[in-house]
Amino acid sequence: MTDATIIDGKAFSEALVTRIAEKASALSAKIGRPPALAVVLVGNDPASGVYVRNKIERTTAAGMTSIEHRLEADTSQDSLLALIDDLNNDDAVDGILVQLPLPDQIDEAAVINAITPDKDVDGFHVVNAGRLATGQDALVPCTPYGCLLLLRDHLGSLSGLNAVVIGRSNIVGKPMAQLLLQESCTVTIAHSRTRDLQDVCAAADIVVAAVGRPEMITGDFIKPGATVIDVGINRVPAPERGEGKFRLTGDVDYTSAVAKAGAITPVPGGVGPMTIACLLRNTLVAAARRFDAGPMEI
Ligand code: NDP
């Protein structure tokens, strides 16, 4: 069997961002200002700091406005909720993103559900989760939406395909399963209590791995020719690169899976870049809806 097609999420996301930037420019002309994303970071978690900086840079590069709010690690829940309330009521803000995780004194669900659903560009609010589950217009979580765009681009119609999503988190696994169901896939959601995971996966035309366990899904789990989407981003020691060095790896064992799959996303360079592209897409969609500027399908 020949090696799989490598699904290039980096190239796909760059083309997507170019289209988003064009639409953002057209929308700016219509509404008199660029679409605007407010990003809230609480505390000094280094990884969160990197993610936020990246999001801000990419938002600006796409011709949108980025409004940054940095709060101290000991910020109270009430102060954060007061900021969210201000942003909800600020006409100059189209999208609100609160970087997770939040410090222990803050209830994440309370914060997420305080964001007005129409500005919830992460798509985590229960109203958006409910809209997605019932087939209504929703702001959809960025990572699973990015996976869907890659799958559609590679496979065309997904109708009737067997899809296994490994992981049932609210931010990846569950919305991914909903999106695949909307595409008329036959969907199985696997998790830590699933029995015979290997057999479950071996029947799948599409495997989406969102487990958070480095290289757990090996080629033995993959049906020959299946499409494999690796959501995992794991930082593992890489002594071969020098003392104390790390490398990024997915939830899929790339070397064995690439020999079985028909197509596969690499890590890095697969799903990762799609997540930020879809955040920009959601910001554009949220702005267009707020100003009744017509459909913004990209
Ligand atoms: P969570 O930890 O919230 O969820 C992990 C899921 O995997 C859970 O549902 C868990 O099951 C399941 N699981 C754990 N162990 C096993 C096992 N042995 N067999 C089967 N299922 C198992 O993670 P997230 O959904 O937030 O993230 C998943 C991965 O995706 C991580 O690597 C994360 O870094 C990455 N990620 C990447 C993003 C990107 O932009 N590319 C964005 C977001 C996440 P149970 O519910 O039973 O505990």
List, for residues 12-52, the tens digit of each pLDDT value.
999 999 999 999 999 999 999 999 999 999 999 999 999 99
In Å, what is the CA distance from 24 to each residue of 21, 27, 109, 257? 5, 5, 30, 38
b (16+ CB within 10 A) / e for 155-180: beebeebbbbbbbbbebbbbbbbbbb
Lowest mean pLDDT among 47-51, 183-187, 201-205, 284-288: 47-51
Domain boundaries, the chain: 32-116, 142-272
Cis peptide before 224 (omega within 30 of 0): no
Tell me if residue 122 is catalytic. Answer: yes
Ligand 1: atom nearest CA of 276 is 40
Q: Decide: 166 and 193 in contact? Cβ < 8 Å.
A: no
Instruction: State the average pLDDT over residues 116-142.
Output: 97
What is the share, in percent, of the chain residues with pLDDT greater than 70?
99
Among 298, 236, 231, which residue's Cα sits nearest to residue 270?
231
- What is residue 297's predicted lDDT score, i.e. its pLDDT? 73
Q: What CATH number matches the domain at 142-272, 3.40.50.720, 1.10.287.610, 3.40.50.300, 3.30.450.30?
A: 3.40.50.720
> Catalytic residue at 182?
no
Beta-carbon neighbour count of residue 281 at 10 Å?
28
- Confidence band for 179, pLDDT divided at 50, 70 and 90: very high
CB under 6 Å to ligand 1: residues? 143, 166-169, 171-173, 190-194, 197, 210-213, 231-234, 251, 271-272, 275
Identify the active-site residue in 23, 94, 99, 174: 99
The conformation of residue 94, written as its DSSP 8-state character, comes to -
Q: What is the pLDDT of residues 251-277, one digit of tens each?
A: 999 999 999 999 999 999 999 999 999
CATH topology for 32-116?
Rossmann fold (3.40.50)
pTM: 0.97
Position in ligand 1 atom list of the atom nearest CA 251? 32
- pLDDT-derived band at 2 (thresholds 50, 70, 90) equals low
pLDDT at 293: 85
Q: Distances from the Cα of 28 to the Cαs of 15, 32, 108, 200, 291, in angstroms?
A: 20, 5, 32, 48, 11
Q: What is the mean pLDDT of the chain?
A: 96
Q: Do domains 32-116 and 142-272 have the same CATH topology?
A: yes
Atom of ligand 1 nearest to the CA of 168: 9
Q: Is residue 55 among the annotated active site residues? A: yes
